[in-house]
A = this chain, B = another copy of it.
């Protein structure tokens, strides 16, 4: 119960959100502590005091990213037919680049970026990423199982295999979209997959 002492002058959650955007768009290595200090408009010491070192700060941002994403995923899949919802899940990153430049939303999936940059050398990052993958496939497989029972989705493959395939696709799509993407072509590919899942 240490609620004494000088109160923090900035909103910690809001700072984490802004750091998330910066890390998301530039990646871990290319984002310097100085960039964070400039963007968040707080001093170095405050940053280290509140979040620990740069690595912890980044991992906290990744966790926030996933928590947000998971919430949206669950919401999208919990009601109504599954295939249209899954199509949206896949189409979102395909369309994201159109807004990317104007709005502050960066490209690609932060889990995927972390996988490429940090996972080979950082066990904690690997855990976060692996857990995110597992939750994605579990949530999607559950939805697909229901949809198979309802006759909406083909039973040609197990829901787990279909969910794994969707994980690969969404990760690949998000990644490829960073290099620039023909939106129409990407959506055609998404449609091809969704159609293939139809019963």
Contact = CB atoms under 8 A, between A and B. Distances in A.
Interface of A: 25-27, 29-30, 106-108, 112-113, 115-117, 119-121, 126, 129-130, 133, 156-158, 160-162, 164-165, 167-173, 175-176, 178-180, 185-186, 188-193, 195-197
Contact of A130 (B133, B179, B196): B179
B133 A120 contact: no
A107 B120 contact: yes
Given A188-B161, A192-B156, A25 B120 contact: yes
B120 A117 contact: no
A188 B164 CA distance: 8
Contact of A192 (B162, B170, B173): B162
A147 to B, nearest CB: 15
* Highest count of chain B CB atoms <10 Å: which of A26, A173, A192: A192
A178 B188 CA distance: 28
Contacts of A167: 172, 176, 189
B156 A116 contact: no
A178 B116 contact: yes
Contacts of A108: 115-116
Contact of A171 (B30, B119, B160, B176): B176
* Highest count of chain B CB atoms <10 Å: which of A129, A170, A171, A189: A189
Given A116-B117, A130-B179, A160 B185 contact: yes
A72 to B, nearest CB: 19
Contact of A119 (B29, B156, B178): B178
7 contacts: A30-B120, A120-B178, A157-B191, A167-B172, A167-B176, A168-B176, A168-B186
Contacts of A158: 188, 192
B195 A156 contact: yes
